[in-house]
C-alpha cells in the first residue's frame, strides 16, 4: 500500500506524566504496514500551520488497526494534540522512515526521555534475549509496560529512580550486556552511547529526531551529517526522515 | 463533457497537458511523491535545483514554521548533474509528464557547464534559478541586478539545447525590470516568485531559528504578493509565465492563471497535503465545467 495521508479517529488519550501524553488512533491502513522505529507526521487543525509534527510509534496493533503515540508537549502543535479526545479526528501521514533493523542478537534497548516510546514497540517485536535501559530526568513513565518483555533498568538525573546519572551509568552499574544496541533519545545521550558501543565493539543503531517539512525525503530539511558520502545525496548528508530515522551509529557524525 | 475541455497549455513550444507543475525543491525529483500522486497526471514535474557538481547545502536547522507557511534555507543541496542525469531523469521519463530541470550555480561558468551537460538529456525545459536567497556565493547575485540577469540569461540561452525559463526573485524593488532583462537576454519564459527573504528568532534558545540566519519564506502567507507580481510581469513582457508562491488550493491557482500565468506551480502545499497537485487539477476542471469554459486560454490573463 505504501505511505498515505489519512484522517484518523481518536480512540483514547491519557496523561502519563507532566506534559507526556499517550494517544491511540484508529488508522488500520497505516498500522497494517508499520514497524518499530517508524513514525507518523501529525497535522494540526489550525489552518495557519502548514507543517505536520513527526511523532514516533510507541505501539502498533495490527489486529485492532490502531497506532499509539506517546509524546511530550513542547509547542503549539503538541499542545493541540494533547487536547484531542475519543471520537475526535486528526490527519496523519505514514508510515514514515525506515524503522529498526532487527536481528536475533542479544539486545540492549536504550531510551532516553521522549526517546523511550519507540523502544516499547521494538521490545514487543524483538524475538530474542534482551534488556531495557530507560533514562529519565525525574518523572518516570512507560517503564512498567516494558516489564513483560525484558528486564528493565533505569537511571534518573535526581537518583529517585534507578541509578543516579544517565543510561550509560545504569549499563555499567547493573552490568547490562548485549551484542547489539538499539537507542533513541537526545543527541548528547546518543553521542555517549555511540562512544560506548565503539569502545565495546558492539553494533549500535540510533534513532534521532529533527524538524521536518515533508517527512518523505523530498525537501532535505532534516539532514544529518554522515561519515561517508551518502548514496542518495552524493554529499555527507542523509535524510533523517527517509534514509533514517534509524542509522548505524558509525555512519553518522554526532 | 470532459473531453470537450482543453486544459493544455504551451510554455515555449512545450505542451503541458494541464497547467499544474510543482515548485522546485518541494518535490525532490518526483520519486518521493510518486507514492502519493500519479506523476503522469501532472502537467510537468519541476525537479530540485541541480548544479554541475554536488553541493552539501547549509547547516541545520534548515527550516522553521511561520504563520501560513514556513521558511527554509536548505542551501541547494544537490547530488550534482552527473548522478542526476543517470538516476533522476530516467525515473521521471517513465511517466507521461513534461520534465522541467531547475539549474543552479555559483558562477556563470557553473550554469553554462550544467546546462551544457543537460544538452544530450531527454528533458523538456530548463528553469534557471537565479533567485535562491540562501546561498551566499551565487544564484541571487544574478537575480537582483537587471544587467547581471541579462548577461546570465544570454550566456545560458547560448549554451542551452532546451528552452529556458528564468526564475525571478521577489526580493527586488521592481520585478518588472528583472522580467524585461530576462526577456531581452533571450529567455523563453519566466517563473515567479521564488521565496521572500525572512528571519525568525528562537526566543527560547535566543538565536536564529534557522542556522543560515535568513531564510526564504513560502506558503499561503506570501500568495497575494506572488499574484501581484505575476500580474505586473504579465503586463510588462510577452513571455509565458509560470506562476508560483503559496498556491495551496484551486482558487489560488485560478488567481495566478487569471492574472496571466500560463502554468502554476504548487510548492509548500505539498508538505501540508501530498495530494494537493492532483486535487487542484481536478478543481480547475470542475471550475471550467461549472462556468462553461471549454478552453483554459479563456482564463489565462482574463483579469486585466
- 3-state DSSP assignment of residue B193: coil
Among A46, A9, A49, which residue's Cα sits nearest to residue A29?
A9
State which residues of chain B have pLDDT below 70: 1-3, 133-139
Asked whether residue B6 is domain-assigned, the answer is yes
Asked whether residue B280 is domain-assigned, the answer is yes
Q: Which domain holds residue B294?
A: 2-298
Q: Which of A96, A120, A150 is a domain's end point?
A: A96
User: Which of B67, B195, B271, B273 best tests the A interface by mutation, with the highest count of A CBs <10 A?
Assistant: B271
Q: Which of A74, A96, A118 is a domain's end point?
A: A96
Q: DSSP labels for B78-108?
A: B--HHHHHHHHHHHHHTSSSEEEEEE--SSH
Q: Which of B32, B56, B72 sits opposite A237 (nearest CB)?
A: B56
Give the tens place of pLDDT for each residue, B182-207. 999 999 999 999 999 999 999 999 99
- In residues, how long is chain A? 254
Among positive and negative, which fits the CA dihedral B216, B218, B223, B229?
positive
CA gap A16, A84 in Å, rounded: 15
Among B189, B149, B199, which residue's Cα sits nearest to residue B169?
B149
Is A214 close to B65, i.e. CB distance below 8 A?
A: no
Asked whether residue B286 is domain-assigned, the answer is yes
Which 8-state DSSP code applies to residue B61?
P
Asked whether residue A101 is domain-assigned, the answer is no
C-alpha angle A29/A34/A36, rounded to 5°? 155
Asked whether residue B195 is domain-assigned, the answer is yes
Is B65 close to A49, i.e. CB distance below 8 A?
A: yes
Is B62 close to A223, i.e. CB distance below 8 A?
A: yes
| B219, B252 Cβ separation under 8 angstroms | no
**Are A172 and A247 contained in the same domain?**
yes
Q: Which domain holds residue A185?
A: 107-251
State the first-to-last Cα distance of chain A, in angstroms, to the nearest integer. Answer: 34
**Are A68 and A175 contained in the same domain?**
no
Q: Which of A77, A96, A115 is a domain's end point?
A: A96
Q: Which of B56, B63, B67 sits opposite A48 (nearest CB)?
A: B67
**Are A181 and A159 contained in the same domain?**
yes
Asked whether residue B23 is domain-assigned, the answer is yes
Asked whether residue B70 is domain-assigned, the answer is yes
pTM above 0.90, yes or no: yes
Q: Which of A4, A48, A213 sits opposite B63 (nearest CB)?
A: A213
Among A98, A100, A159, A107, which residue's Cα sits nearest to residue A133?
A107
CA gap B109, B117 in Å, rounded: 12
State which residues of chain A have pLDDT below 70: none
- 3-state DSSP assignment of residue A159: coil
Alpha-carbon dihedral B201, A90, B281, A96, rounded to 10 degrees: 70
- 3-state DSSP assignment of residue A179: coil
> With b meaning 16 or more CB within 10 Å and e meaning fewer, what string describes B33-57?
bbebbebebbbbbbbbbbbbbbbbb
Is B60 close to A222, i.e. CB distance below 8 A?
A: yes
> Within 10 Å of residue B178's Cβ, how many Cβ atoms?
29
**Are A92 and A111 contained in the same domain?**
no
Confirm or deny that B171 is annotated as ligand binding: no
Main-chain phi, psi angles of B80, to 5 degrees: 90, 155
User: Which residues, in sequence order, are CB contacts of A225 under 8 Å at separation 6+?
Assistant: A236, A237, A252, A253
User: Which of A1, A5, A50 best tests the B interface by mutation, with the highest count of B CBs <10 A?
Assistant: A50
Asked whether residue A60 is domain-assigned, the answer is yes
- State the total domains in chain B: 1
- State the total domains in chain A: 2
β-pairing, B189-192 vs B164-167, is parallel
**Are A23 and A74 contained in the same domain?**
yes
Give the tens place of pLDDT for each residue, A42-76. 999 998 999 999 999 999 999 999 999 999 999 99
**Are A84 and A125 contained in the same domain?**
no
Confirm or deny that B128 is annotated as ligand binding: no
In this predicted complex, what is the ipTM?
Answer: 0.92
Q: Give the per-residue pLDDT at B141.
A: 73
Chain B: closest CA distance from residue A176 (Å): 35
**Are A115 and A237 contained in the same domain?**
yes
**Are A127 and A197 contained in the same domain?**
yes
**Are A153 and A86 contained in the same domain?**
no
CA gap B108, B98 in Å, rounded: 26
CA gap A160, B204 in Å, rounded: 28
Asked whether residue A9 is domain-assigned, the answer is yes
Rg (CA), chain B: 18
Is B35 close to A2, i.e. CB distance below 8 A?
A: yes
Chain A residues touching residue B269 (CB < 8 angstroms):
50
User: Which residues, in sequence order, are CB contacts of B206 under 8 Å at separation 6+?
Assistant: none
Is B57 close to A223, i.e. CB distance below 8 A?
A: yes
**Are A128 and A238 contained in the same domain?**
yes
Q: Give the per-residue pLDDT at B4.
A: 82
- In residues, how long is chain B? 304
Confirm or deny that B42 is annotated as ligand binding: no
Cell numbers that stand for B141 in this block: 547575485
Chain A residues touching residue B267 (CB < 8 angstroms):
none
Is A214 close to B270, i.e. CB distance below 8 A?
A: yes
Output the domain CATH number for residue B183.
3.20.20.70
Q: Give the per-residue pLDDT at A210.
A: 83
Chain B residues touching residue A4 (CB < 8 angstroms):
35-36
Output the domain CATH number for residue A224.
3.40.50.80
Main-chain phi, psi angles of B116, to 5 degrees: -65, -40
Is B77 close to A233, i.e. CB distance below 8 A?
A: yes
| A221, A148 Cβ separation under 8 angstroms | no
Confirm or deny that B300 is annotated as ligand binding: no
Q: Which of B33, B67, B72 sits opposite A221 (nearest CB)?
A: B72
CA gap A214, B218 in Å, rounded: 14
Asked whether residue A40 is domain-assigned, the answer is yes
> Within 10 Å of residue B200's Cβ, how many Cβ atoms?
17
User: Which residues, in sequence order, are CB contacts of B204 under 8 Å at separation 6+?
Assistant: none
Q: Which of A4, A50, A221 sits opposite B219 (nearest CB)?
A: A50
Asked whether residue A102 is domain-assigned, the answer is no
Among positive and negative, which fits the CA dihedral B155, B156, B157, B160?
positive
Q: Give the per-residue pLDDT at B1.
A: 46
Active site residue ranges of B = 132
Asked whether residue B303 is domain-assigned, the answer is no
Output the domain CATH number for residue A53.
2.40.30.10
**Are A124 and A244 contained in the same domain?**
yes
CA gap B195, B179 in Å, rounded: 16
**Are A60 and A128 contained in the same domain?**
no
Asked whether residue B304 is domain-assigned, the answer is no
Q: Please count the residue pairs, one from chain A and one from chain B, whose beta carbons lie less than 8 angstroms apart.
A: 106
Amino acid at each position: 500500500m505504501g505511505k498515505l495521508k489519512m484522517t484518523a479517529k481518536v480512540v483514547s488519550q491519557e496523561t502519563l506524566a507532566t506534559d507526556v501524553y499517550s494517544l491511540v488512533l484508529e488508522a488500520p491502513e497505516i498500522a497494517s504496514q508499520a514497524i518499530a522505529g517508524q513514525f507518523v507526521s501529525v497535522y494540526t487543525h489550525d489552518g495557519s500551520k502548514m507543517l505536520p509534527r513527526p511523532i514516533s510509534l510507541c505501539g502498533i496493533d495490527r489486529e485492532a488497526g490502531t497506532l499509539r503515540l506517546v509524546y511530550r508537549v513542547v509547542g503549539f502543535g503538541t499542545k493541540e494534540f494533547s487536547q484531542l479526545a475519543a471520537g475526535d479526528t486528526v490527519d496523519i501521514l505514514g508510515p514514515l522512515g525506515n524503522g529498526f533493523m532487527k536481528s536475533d542478537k542479544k539486545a540492549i534497548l536504550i531510551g532516553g526521555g521522549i526517546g523511550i516510546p519507540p523502544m516499547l514497540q521494538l521490545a514487543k517485536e524483538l524475538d530474542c534475549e534482551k534488556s531495557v535501559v530507560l533514562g529519565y530526568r525525574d518523572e518516570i513513565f512507560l517503564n512498567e509496560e516494558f516489564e513483560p518483555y525484558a528486564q528493565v533498568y533505569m537511571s534518573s538525573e535526581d537518583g529517585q529512580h534507578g541509578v543516579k546519572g544517565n543510561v550509560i551509568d545504569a549499563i555499567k552499574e547493573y552490568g547490562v550486556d548485549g551484542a547489539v544496541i538499539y537507542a533513541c533519545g537526545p543527541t548528547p545521550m546518543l553521542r555517549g552511547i555511540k562512544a560506548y558501543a565503539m569502545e565495546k565493539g558492539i553494533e549500535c543503531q540510533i534513532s534521532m529526531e529533527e524538524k521536518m517539512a515533508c517527512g518523505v525525503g523530498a525537501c532535505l530539511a532534516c539532514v544529518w551529517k554522515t561519515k561517508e558520502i551518502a548514496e542518495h545525496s552524493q554529499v555527507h548528508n542523509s535524510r533523517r526522515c527517509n534514509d533514517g530515522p534509524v542509522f548505524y551509529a558509525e555512519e553518522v557524525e554526532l | 463533457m470532459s473531453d470537450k475541455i482543453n486544459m493544455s497549455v504551451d510554455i515555449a513550444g512545450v505542451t503541458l497537458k494541464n497547467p499544474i507543475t510543482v515548485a522546485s525543491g518541494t518535490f525532490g525529483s518526483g520519486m518521493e511523491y510518486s507514492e502519493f500522486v500519479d506523476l503522469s497526471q501532472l502537467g510537468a514535474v519541476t525537479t530540485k535545483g541541480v548544479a554541475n557538481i554536488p553541493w552539501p547545502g547549509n547547516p541545520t536547522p534548515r527550516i522553521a514554521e511561520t504563520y501560513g507557511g514556513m521558511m527554509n534555507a536548505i542551501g541547494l543541496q544537490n547530488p550534482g548533474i552527473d548522478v542526476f542525469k543517470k538516476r533522476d531523469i530516467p525515473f521521471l521519463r517513465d511517466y507521461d509528464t513534461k520534465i522541467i530541470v531547475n539549474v543552479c550555480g555559483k558562477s556563470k561558468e557553473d550554469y553554462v557547464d550544467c546546462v551544457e551537460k543537460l544538452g544530450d538529456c531527454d528533458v523538456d525545459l530548463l528553469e534557471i534559478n537565479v533567485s535562491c536567497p540562501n546561498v551566499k556565493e551565487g544564484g541571487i547575485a544574478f537575480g537582483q541586478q537587471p544587467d547581471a540577469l541579462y548577461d546570465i540569461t544570454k550566456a545560458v540561452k547560448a549554451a542551452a539545447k532546451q528552452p529556458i525559463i528564468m526564475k525571478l526573485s521577489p526580493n527586488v524593488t521592481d520585478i518588472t525590470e528583472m522580467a524585461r532583462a530576462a526577456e531581452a537576454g533571450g529567455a523563453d519564459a519566466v517563473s515567479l516568485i521564488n521565496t521572500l527573504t525572512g528571519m525568525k528568532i528562537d526566543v527560547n534558545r535566543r538565536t536564529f531559528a534557522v542556522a543560515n540566519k535568513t531564510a526564504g519564506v513560502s506558503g499561503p502567507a506570501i500568495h497575494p504578493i506572488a499574484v501581484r507580481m505575476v500580474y505586473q510581469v504579465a503586463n510588462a513582457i510577452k513571455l509565458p509565465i509560470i506562476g508560483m508562491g503559496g498556491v495551496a488550493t484551486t482558487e489560488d491557482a485560478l488567481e495566478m492563471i487569471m492574472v496571466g500565468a500560463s502554468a502554476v506551480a504548487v510548492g509548500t502545499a505539498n508538505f501540508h497535503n501530498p495530494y494537493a497537485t492532483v486535487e487542484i487539477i481536478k478543481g480547475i476542471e470542475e471550475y471550467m465545467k461549472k462556468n462553461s469554459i471549454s478552453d483554459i486560454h479563456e482564463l489565462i490573463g482574463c483579469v486585466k
